[in-house]
Amino acid sequence: MNPQLADLQFIRPAWLGALLLLPVLAWAWRRRQRRRSAWRESVDAHLLPHLLDARAGRGGAGGNALASLCGLALAIVAAAGPSWRAVPQPMQAGGDALAIVLDLSSASLANDLQPSRLVQARAKIAGLLRAHAGPVALVAYADDAFVVSPVTPDPANVAVFLDALAPDVMPVDGSNAARGIELAGELLGQAGHPRGTILLLAPDAGTAAVRAAARAAVAGHRVDVLGMGTPAGGAYRGRDGAIDRSALDPAPLRAVAAAGGGSLHPWSASPETVLAPAAGGAGGGGTDGGLVPEDGGYWLLPLAMLLLLAGFRRGTVLASVALCLLLPLQPAFAGGAQPPSGDLWRRADQAAHQRSVAAEAAYRRGDFKAAAEGFSGLPGADAAYNRGNALARAGSYAEAIAAYDEALALDPGMEDARANRAAVEAAMRRQPPEGGAGGAGSGDEGAAGTAGEPAGGDGATDRLDPADAGDGAAPEAQSDAAPPAAEQAAAEQPAPGPPPPSADAPDADARAREQALEDAQRDAIERALEDGAAEEGAEPGPADRSRSTAEAEREQANAAWLRQVPDDPGALLRARFRNEHLRRRAGER
């Protein structure tokens, strides 16, 4: 027997029950065929075998029906999900998120873990972030708990806060592990993780923390504990300046882990050991989840489709195929004044957005005619307003006014369209009567005035300046009437005559050209030498020395200013936690 057939199984075996309907369909089809025979309705049943050829029609309708039934059977078997091999399936990261809860009270400065618990905790959390491939969050608590980083799929987003963790970022000192567990559970629930792991890093905990762990377990979260410290304990300085002592108390921590369905790990445990229960859960670690059957039903679908074609009447299949081939050939008007319509790949609104983006790009690069054509046919007052701006820039004032009128008809409150319409009208009045193509071309830039970007979906802001609307036509219109003052003054002065002839004139001209060529070569060589000297660290020229001095002074000023900025990486966390603490206190009142 084939080994692959020995491993055959069905992923969705309930679909096989549909095979029981095939005999019913065959009987119904057979009965319908018998009723459709005119001879059977007019001739007695015992005479039919002597009058009709039993072989007639077997190769036609009967064969098509049999092929259709076989195709249905294959389709049902494919839907059942036949599988004859298993493939490794990695678990999806994110099913079991990790929320780290850190005790950031003054006790974290105890020196029983050298050099301090805080430094060791930062290193431990960094190792956990490297070992855990799923979503992770970080919560710090003292008298109250605060979110250092919400649930994120990238552990690097949490690692950036590690150096800023210190007891002085907490608004009030204390030890409220229960609040840290509750906040971690809230983060996991809000992020859509019904099953997660809460890892508590603390030297001790109270009965309230045990109850909070039990509530987290009921919500579907596992609570593990990592004992931070040693039973011998260590000294630390509190916020009041007094020297206190803190020691690891395993009993309440073990009670918290038991209530949360987790384990208590010693501080020397490796990150992989601490995260092992989480990785074994519902897909938190992103490791291999074992072998799963591969659905091979898609191999049967082509044969099933070919067999089902026989169930169609003659000519219907060809017509259906021809219709499907003609669908992509339907024209989609994407240019000119035709409104955008959808096609096989884009809806009508998507085609309109694409054309609007292309028109805005043409407007920005100065192709106002193409921009006006692109905005034509687009719906909305903004499209009409943008078309008016493009037409005004192109010098088509009458069409621009019509576009502004259309925009105002759609949106009577569009003040920018009203102002631009008045500016274009002012430009038309200032145009000279004999202004032909040249006048229109010179006036389009003036009509645009201070126009900026085309209006987007959030409003129209491209306003033309009436004062500048006709300035573009003025210079060209006045060029024939009166020359500029500088040109007129130059025209009144007598032109200098040629120098007196000299026998040495050709030699003088040649020497002048040679001197100019030598000067140009000397300047090029000096520039090349200065560039090379600057690259090699040689003495720069006067201009370079002045520039280097200015840059050095500016760098020194910047460095002095930076030295005045206090080096406080936890300032952001401190301000955020303080504001959150004040808001909570205000809410309690």
Q: State how far the alpha carbon of 481 is from the alpha carbons of 66, 440, 446, 576, in Å.
A: 96, 19, 20, 71
**SS3 of 350, please?**
helix
User: Which position has the higher pLDDT, 346 or 208?
Assistant: 208
Q: Mean pLDDT, the chain, as a whole number?
A: 73
Output the six-digit token pair for 188: 């996991």
Output the six-digit token pair for 105: 């009270």
Range among 71-85, 428-442, 500-514, 555-569 rated most confident: 71-85
Whether the per-residue pLDDT at 277 is higher than 90: the answer is: no
Q: pTM of the predicted model, to two decimals?
A: 0.43
Q: Where are the alpha helices (DSSP H) in 37-142?
A: 38-42, 48-51, 63-79, 117-131
155 class by beta-carbon count within 10 Å (0-12 exposed, 13-18 middle, 19+ buried): buried
CA distance 498 to 509: 14
Whether the per-residue pLDDT at 87 is higher than 90: the answer is: no
Lowest mean pLDDT among 211-225, 401-415, 507-521: 507-521
Confidence of residue 12 (pLDDT cuts 50, 70, 90): confident
Q: State how far the alpha carbon of 90 is from the alpha carbons of 136, 154, 286, 291, 551, in Å.
A: 19, 18, 6, 9, 56
- Please write the tens of the pLDDT for every residue from 465-493: 444 444 433 333 333 333 343 333 334 44
Bridge partners of 137? 99
Bridge partners of 209? none
414 class by beta-carbon count within 10 Å (0-12 exposed, 13-18 middle, 19+ buried): buried
* Region 506-510 average pLDDT: 51
CA-closest candidate to residue 103, choices 322, 267, 262? 267
CA distance 228 to 264: 11
Q: Which helix (H) or strand (E) holds 137?
A: strand 136-141
Q: Residue 323 has what pLDDT?
A: 45
* Region 141-158 average pLDDT: 92
User: Which position has the higher pLDDT, 9 or 95?
Assistant: 9
- Please write the tens of the pLDDT for every residue from 24-75: 888 887 777 666 566 666 667 777 676 665 554 444 566 677 778 888 888 8
CA distance 314 to 136: 62
Q: Residue 65 has what pLDDT?
A: 74
Whether the per-residue pLDDT at 550 is higher than 60: the answer is: yes
Whether the per-residue pLDDT at 280 is higher than 80: the answer is: no
- Please write the tens of the pLDDT for every residue from 361-372: 888 888 888 888
Q: Residue 310 has what pLDDT?
A: 67
Q: Please report the DSSP string for 324-337 in residue order.
A: HHHGGGS----STT
pLDDT > 90: percent of the chain: 24
Lowest mean pLDDT among 140-144, 150-154, 418-422, 466-470: 466-470
Strands 196-202 and 221-227, sheet pairing: parallel
Confidence of residue 122 (pLDDT cuts 50, 70, 90): very high
- Please write the tens of the pLDDT for every residue from 161-188: 898 899 999 999 999 999 999 999 999 9
**SS3 of 89, please?**
strand
* Region 499-519 average pLDDT: 52
* Region 224-240 average pLDDT: 92
Domains and CATH numbers, the chain: 1-85+294-329 (no CATH), 97-291 (3.40.50.410), 348-478 (1.25.40)
Confidence of residue 440 (pLDDT cuts 50, 70, 90): very low
* Burial state string for 229-240 with b = 16 or more CB within 10 A and e = fewer than 16: bbeebbebeeee
Output the six-digit token pair for 440: 């229109």
Q: Residue 563 has what pLDDT?
A: 66
Is residue 198 within 8 A of residue 182, CB to CB? The reply is no
* Region 112-139 average pLDDT: 92
- CA 218 from centre of chain: 36
Return all residues near 293 (Cβ < 8 A) that are at least 6 apart: 9, 11, 81, 83, 85, 86
Q: How far apart are the first and last CA of the chain?
A: 79
pLDDT > 70: percent of the chain: 62
CA distance 219 to 186: 10
CA distance 373 to 420: 19
Range among 228-242, 276-290, 316-330, 443-457 rated most confident: 228-242
Lowest mean pLDDT among 308-312, 485-489, 538-542: 485-489
User: Which position has the higher pLDDT, 340 or 324?
Assistant: 340
User: Which position has the higher pLDDT, 574 or 147?
Assistant: 147
Confidence of residue 262 (pLDDT cuts 50, 70, 90): very high
* Region 507-535 average pLDDT: 56
Return all residues near 561 (Cβ < 8 A) that are at least 6 apart: none
Q: Which helix (H) or strand (E) holds 361?
A: helix 348-364
Q: Is the peptide bond before 115 cis (omega within 30 degrees of 0)?
A: yes
